[in-house]
Amino acid sequence: MGADDQYDLKSMNVSDQVSQPRDGPIDNFPTELEKQTRTRRLFSTAQLFAFSIMYLMTWGSVGSNMYFALFNGGPTAWFFGYFIVVSGVLAQAASFAEMASILPVAGAHIKRFLTWLQGWSTWTAYVAITGSILNANAVIFEGLIAMNYPSYEPGGWRTTLQILANLAFCVFINMFAFRVVPWFEMLAGILNVCLFVIYIVVLWVMSPRNSADIFWQTNVSSGYKDYFIAANVGSLSHIFLFIAFEGVIHMSEETRNAHRAVPCAMFWSMFTNFWIGLVMLVTLMICMPDVETVLNGPSPFVTVLLHATRSTKAATAMVAGLMVMAISCNMSSISSTSRLTWAWARDGGLPKWFGHVDGKHRVPLRALALTSIITIALSLLFSP
């Protein structure tokens, strides 16, 4: 770290410039870490709850990730697998919440072999998840385009271009206007509830209904001969809904009253997402067309909406609302992953150069840049 990057703590208001854990010092909070942490505590409990809700965006992700479950197991595995996955995730969330209430920081600090192994695995996974979320949202958008322009061919460089555009917007906000992110997520959380109600009403009122037999319908299009194996592979659809639920912990050092706000936001957002996700899952099963039609469409969720409304314009308007939600999800993912990158560099897992917090913008710009570059590299895999 160069001299121009250093803070002169003696010549400024230390209580403003150095972010303390909780609302004041903690006896076991590492002194070196305390000096390195110069981010602003911008998030309130409500804003962090909205951040966590939008990070998962479960009810929208239920539709956008339904393909793999229907492909491997069909509606039966899709429905019952949801409860199996959620039961495990809620138990994990309760455990993580307890740990976050004790020491709410973005990364670990015990330099032992298992910690380093876990740290590298976690950081690599989060960067990959960021790329996956951007890709999933691009698939929805491409389904929207294909619905309006049947000659459009999704995939390839087109997917890459959409990912890059989305990434550029979210990174720019994170770098130079991070103050607006808590309020952006709060507004997105309110919109999330409004759109959820609209989607449920439209699907139940306008869509042809399936009988209750749909809950016992199986399908294995992947070629697996053992249904149990196929259903377990299909459960990846649900696992992806809740993966990285602890990402909100990475915002601990930018949250007020973090020892209480972080665990509450993480667990109760999980609990809330479970119920609204379940309502959407049941709704989609009752209101979707036959499995083959869903699997052969450019985007399963878009196909279901078009089947329900029987109007390209109406389906386009509904998907457009979902895309606004997707941008919020992208924003949460990039914010969380960049903070994990910063913390991992601060702990020595990555070069210390990436563990720096910019003195002007008070955000980890270098960590944001590293996260973005790797995500860009991953997106290039779609190009021919």
Question: Which tens digit of pLDDT belongs to each residue from 2-45?
Answer: 433 433 333 333 333 334 443 444 434 444 454 555 677 878 88
Residue range of the domain that includes 111: 41-382
241 close to 315: Cβ distance less than 8 angstroms? no
Report the CATH number that the domain containing residue 89 is assigned in CATH. Answer: 1.20.1740.10
What's the DSSP call for residue 153? -
Residue 349: inside a domain: yes
Residue 374: inside a domain: yes
304 close to 70: Cβ distance less than 8 angstroms? no
Confidence of residue 110 (pLDDT cuts 50, 70, 90): low
Percent residues over pLDDT 70 in the chain? 87
Please state the domain count of the chain.
1
**What pLDDT is recorded for position 37?**
54
Percent residues over pLDDT 90 in the chain? 18
Helix (H) or strand (E) holding 85: helix 74-102
Q: Determine the residue type at 331.
A: M
| E-strand stretches of 189-303 | 219-220
The β-bridge partners of 72 are: 220
pLDDT for residue 107 is more than 70? no
**What pLDDT is recorded for position 384?**
58
**Is the entire prediction scored with pTM above 0.85?**
no
Close Cβ partners of 145 (under 8 Å, ≥ 6 residues apart):
152, 154
d(CA 40, CA 30): 19
User: Average pLDDT for residues 159-166, to the nearest whole number?
Assistant: 88
Helix (H) or strand (E) holding 72: strand 72-73
Residue 248 corresponds to which tokens in the numbers above?
A: 């909100």
Residue 1: inside a domain: no
pLDDT for residue 331 is more than 80? yes
What's the DSSP call for residue 211? P
How do residues 183-212 score in pLDDT, each as one tens digit?
A: 888 888 898 899 999 999 999 999 889 999
d(CA 120, CA 113): 11
Residue 23: inside a domain: no
d(CA 206, CA 194): 18
Residue 67: inside a domain: yes
CA-based nearest residue to 48, from 196, 195, 243, 266: 266
* Cβ neighbour number for residue 148 with a 10 Å cutoff: 12
Residue 142: inside a domain: yes
Residue 124: inside a domain: yes
Residue 362 corresponds to which tokens in the numbers above?
A: 């008070």
Residue 25: inside a domain: no
Residue 100 corresponds to which tokens in the numbers above?
A: 């976050």
